Structure 1
Amino acid sequence: MTRIGVEPSLSDVEELLKQKGYDVVRIQNEQQMDQCDCYVVTGLDSNVLGISDTTTKASVITASGMTADEICQEVEQRVQ
């Protein structure tokens, strides 16, 4: 199952992704940054969760200016 990491402030996106069948986890710390196939972040702070030097092979989607539906469409495109 595809696992999506979502910032805690994006609860509407989290719920919509769960409805679509994704395994969704809230990103709480740096250790979780290698456990997901895709991440959705707010984009309000480029230093996500106080982590400025984390490297991940997963896709990172910046939610700024996007609706929950648009974000879900972007997730679907990136994890196919």
Structure 2
Amino acid sequence: MARIGVEQTLSDVAQELQSKGYETVTLKNEQDAQGCDCCVISGQDQNVMGIQNVVTQGSVINADGMTAEEVCQQVANKVGH
């Protein structure tokens, strides 16, 4: 099963993903994203300082303006579930 990193503020998304059988990891720092097939971020602090570091080879989904179900659909599209 795919391992999905989810930003701390998106607990509803994490619960929805878990209900669909995904393993979720709470993203507290860059190291948490390593080994994830996909990461879901809130978009709140996206690239605040103009610095972008690649910490995962997986897809990154910006959940801003999306429902938990819509995020799950995006995850399924990205990881092929």
TM-score, length-scaled by structure 1: 0.89
Structure having the larger proportion of residues in helix = 1
Q: Does 1:53 align with 2:49?
A: no
Q: Which runs of 4+ in 1 moved over 6 A?
A: none
Q: For 1:15-36, what per-residue CA distance to the aligned partner results, in whole angstroms no more than 9, with x for missing partners?
A: 0000000000101111122220
Moved more, 53-62 or 39-48: 39-48
Structure 2: where are the runs of 5+ without partners?
none
Query: How is 1:1-80 mapped onto 2 (pairs within 5 angstroms)?
Result: 1-47=1-47, 52-55=51-54, 56-80=56-80
Structure 1: where are the runs of 5+ without partners?
none
The answer (yes or no) to whether the contact 2:25–2:32 under 8 Å persists in 1 is no
Q: For 1:30-69, what per-residue CA distance to the aligned partner results, in whole angstroms no more than 9, with x for missing partners?
A: 1122220000000111138x8x432121100000010111
Number of matched pairs: 78
RMSD: 1.6
Question: Aligned to 1:6, what secondary structure does the other structure show?
Answer: strand
